[in-house]
A and B are shown apart, each in its own frame.
Chain A
Amino acid sequence: MSQQAFERFRELVLDDDALQAQLRPARNISELVPLVLMLARERGIPIDAEDVEIAWQAAQRAWIVRWI
């Protein structure tokens, strides 16, 4: 699928307090992925689990590199 689609969903989330409130309680990535897929699908944004996994790995890497 598409990293661009994930980025579109990410921008949507950052602009929507209610969406954030639904996603924030996830305690780990396994809980977060199904929520992301469901909420993205409801908004007609075509992302799949692999898109989220790629974004998640990039996010972890970016956070670690920040401290180097």
Chain B
Amino acid sequence: MVDWCHASDVPFTDPFFEQTIASLVQLPFNLLFRHQTPIDDLPKINAALPGLKPAGFIFHWSRCGSTLISQMLAAMPQNLVLSEPHLLDFVFRAHPQGARVSDGQRINWLRELIGALGQKRRNEHTRCFVKFDSWHTLRLPLIRRAFPDVPWVFVYRDPVEVLVSHEKEPAAQMMPGLIEPRLLGLNPEDLGQMPRDEYCARVLAAISQAALAQSAGETVQFVNYRALPDAVFSSILPFFKVTCNASECESLRDIVRYHAKEPSVPFSPDSAAKQQDASEGIRQLSEQWLRPLYQKMELGR
């Protein structure tokens, strides 16, 4: 079932989609008059109210500046930016009553859900961007079959810094078992004894391998965290065919002054601190599982 929530002309400029939804369901009308429809009704709904066709997708390693990019895009009033909407995860994980779901069905669901999410919220919306959860990079082949023409970027960072970030504050996807082991090239029995930091490195390795594999034969923008925020202006906007006038560029530069995930907090660079905090174990894991892939992504920039 698909849950609907009246969003009025709320611009969806929070760092994450779920934050906007959480605010909207605080309005009693949205809960008391909650409305659900079967997912199979979406084609008819989308035919009556078509959404904006996606203008670009953002995939990423996590903890590498992808939220900064989505926040900067969202600062332009023409852009509707959907930052990691969790309902897309259901498309990839759905097994209703244990039944197998075909790739064709998942592709249809993905198109219809993104179509519904991409409905214009404001008259000035002309473009829609989707930032996927980092582990959805593992589903790139399916996503590309659903949307073969949408340009996409992949955001990454020095692997030591990403590993240190997850060591300090592990993300949900770094919980062993949350991602199907076969998507990581692992067996379920591998997970029990694997140290947490190694599992994290293996997840990141699988994500970057998926991005690199899909990028062969496609035009993809690989974006290194250290090139941000300038890369938004020099690479990402042109790649997504977005022009930005002086006033809009100023609005985007305003975003950079604050922490992308906590917009009330001034931004403070942390790469040097993360490098300093990295243990020998983290550095070894980085060299073993991630550095060669990082260097390939560097070649793709």
A interface residues (Cβ-Cβ under 8 A, vs B): 10, 13-14, 20, 23-24, 26-29, 31-32, 36, 52, 55-56, 59-60, 62-63, 66
Contact = CB atoms under 8 A, between A and B. Distances in A.
Nearest to A36: B32
6 contacts: A10-B33, A20-B6, A29-B32, A59-B34, A62-B34, A66-B3
A29 B28 contact: yes
Contacts of B27: 24, 26-27
Instruction: Tell me if A's interface is mostly helix, strand, loop or mixed.
Output: helix
Interface of B: 3, 6, 8, 25, 27-29, 31-35
A19 B129 CA distance: 33
A20 B31 contact: no
B28 A32 contact: yes
B31 A26 contact: no
A20 B32 CA distance: 12
Contacts of B33: 10, 13-14, 20, 23
Counting chain A CB atoms within 10 Å of each CB, the highest count among B3, B25, B27 belongs to: B27
A60 B31 contact: yes
Nearest to A59: B31
A52 B29 CA distance: 12
Given A23-B33, A29-B32, 12 more contacts: A13-B33, A14-B33, A24-B6, A24-B8, A31-B28, A32-B32, A52-B32, A59-B34, A60-B31, A62-B34, A63-B25, A66-B3
B35 A24 contact: no
Contacts of A66: 3
B46 to A, nearest CB: 19
Given A20-B6, A24-B6, A14 B29 contact: no
A31 B27 CA distance: 11
A23 B29 contact: yes
Contacts of B25: 63
B29 A20 contact: yes
A63 B29 contact: no
A24 B31 contact: no
B31 A63 contact: yes
Contacts of A27: 27-28
A41 to B, nearest CB: 17
Nearest to B86: A67
Contacts of B8: 24
A56 B29 contact: no
Q: Which 10 A-B pairs have the closest CB atoms?
A: A59-B31, A32-B28, A29-B28, A24-B29, A23-B29, A59-B32, A13-B33, A14-B35, A56-B32, A26-B28
